[in-house]
Structures are given as C-alpha cells and as structure tokens.
Amino acid sequence: MSANMLYCICCVVKISGLVVCFKLIIFLGGLYLMKPGFKFKRVVLKLSGEALAGDRGIGIDYCKVSDICSCIRDCVINNEVQMGIVVGGGNFWRGRDNSDIDVCVSDQIGMVATLMNALYLREIFQKLEVVCNLMATIPIPGVIEKYSYKEAVSSLTHGEIVVFGGGTGNTHFSTDSAASLRAAELKADVLLKATMVDGVYNSDPKKYSNAVRYSRLSYDEVLKNRLSFMDSTATAMCKDNNIKVLVFNISDPLNIKRAILGESLGTLITTDGDRRDF
C-alpha cells in the first residue's frame, strides 16, 4: 500500500470521527433542549396531614409518603428547585372535631401532631439520600431545631429540603397561615397547596355533582364569592404579599412535579387572576 493511499485513509477516518462527534454534540444538545424546565425556583409546599394518611384517613401511610417524597426528590436534584414543606397534623388530631377541651389546648395538640409528621418526612427523605433540615416554631432540643429564617434560606440555597413543623407556634392560627407566612418570609415563587380535591370549586364537589372548578381566580374573586380554599387569615396574607397559590390534588404525587413544571392543573389564585400561562 502506497504512502498516498495510507494518507487518504487516515484523512477519511479523521473526518468520519469529526462527523460522529459533531452528530453526538447535536444529539446531546437536543436532549438538553427537550428537558422540561421548571416554572418555579423556590417553592413552599403545604402538605395536609390527610395527604400523608392516604386511603386510611388516619395515621401515616408509608407507601404514600414515600411516593410523595420521591417526587419531591426528583424536583430538587441538582438544586433545580428549592423546596420548603409546611406539614399539617390532621391525620392525628383535628381541633374542630374535639370541642370538649379548651381551644388553645386543642391547637397545641395539633402543633405537636405536625411535629410527628415532620419527623416522619425527614426520615423518609434520609432513606432516599436527600439532605433534609427540620425546623419548628416549638423545637425539641436534640430532636428538632428552632425555626430561623436565615437558617432556612441558607439550607434552601444549598439544595437542602426544609420541613417546617409546629405551624406558626401560636394558637388560633392554622397550618395554612403558617404556609402563607413561610412563603412570604422565604419569598417563594409559589405556594403549592396539596389537597384531596383537584382545585377550587364554586360549591362542595363532594355534595353537589354540578359543582364547577375554577382554573384561575383573583383574590378579589375569592373574597367576593366567599370561596374557602384556605382560611381568611392565610388568604389575606397571600393577597397582601402577592403570592401565587396553586391548589391541586395530591392523590397522584406526580402532580407536585407537574405543578412546578407549570402544567395546567388545579386552580391558580393570583392578585389579578391573570388567565395567561403562569
């Protein structure tokens, strides 16, 4: 084989290699562009105690909680989303169903119930090898640290999930109010309210088959029509701080990711009720 022929073969191989590399770069770039982007960077998720109980309605359903935490893990990987979670305690204690004792004591029992749920969430996240920081307004030395705004922000910016227990730490305030407060303090892009219904209706969909679900609402419309997706204190705080609230169904844990991606689901409440994509 002549030297000229060897030279030609080498050139062809070299060019072929460059073409393959170029095609590979285009392919990888296409995958990156096709990757769905999250609409929101910093999120506060309000998880009701009922959501943790699953179909049992009381206590904690391990499989249900594991599915929820796995979905959240997929969102926070590589610090794509910063996630704070405010958890309720209705799966252990519901103050409105226990009128035989003083309301302040009932609320305090409810706060303790949220701590049990918060501890359980942290344990599941640790099993999933996700760093999770647990804070509460009523700390337990050696178990749960006291809530600190600065510490919470630092944890979020470092890619850690932060679970908040204890509500606001005060009686007569719901965990919805606590979620609204944390969303305002942390300057969250959205407050996700995970419920057992798929949004806000003009009447109770469990009682009325002709109930209509809203896709978008303004806070003025909520107040005018007396729609109760949160208590009035929480609603006022969200309105005053211009916080977007998305009410959606947690029965399918994947809805958490869909909500953060900005897919159309549930009911979005904003200051002006903007009908455009959010």
Closest CA to 200 of 172, 180, 221, 169: 221
Residue 80: CB partners within 8 Å, gap ≥ 6?
A: 38
Report the C-alpha gap between 153 and 117 in whole angstroms.
Answer: 22
Assess contact for 174 and 167: CB atoms under 8 A: yes
Pairing state between β 213-214 and 200-201: antiparallel
Q: What is the pTM of this model?
A: 0.84
The amino acid present at 116, given as its one-letter code, is M
The CATH architecture that domain 38-270 belongs to is 3-Layer(aba) Sandwich (3.40)
Q: Name the one residue in this structure whose structure tokens are 């009922």.
A: 50
CB count in 10 Å sphere of residue 149: 11
What are the residue boundaries of the structural domains of the chain, listed by start? 1-35, 38-270
Residue 157 to residues 49, 162, 210: CA-CA distances in angstroms?
27, 11, 45
- What confidence score (pLDDT) does residue 77 get? 87
Instruction: Check if the beta carbon of residue 198 is closer than 8 Å to that of residue 248.
Output: yes
Extract the residue ranges of the chain whose pLDDT is less than 70: 1-36, 273-278
Neighbour tally for 145: CB within 10 Å: 14
The conformation of residue 141, written as its DSSP 8-state character, comes to T
Three-class secondary structure of residue 175 per DSSP: helix
CA–CA distance, 274 with 278 (Å, rounded to integer): 8
Distance in angstroms (rounded) separating the CA atoms of residues 163 and 94: 21
Token pair 């109010």 is found at 177
Q: Give pLDDT, residue 61.
A: 95
> Hunting for tokens 């990888």 — which residue is that?
28
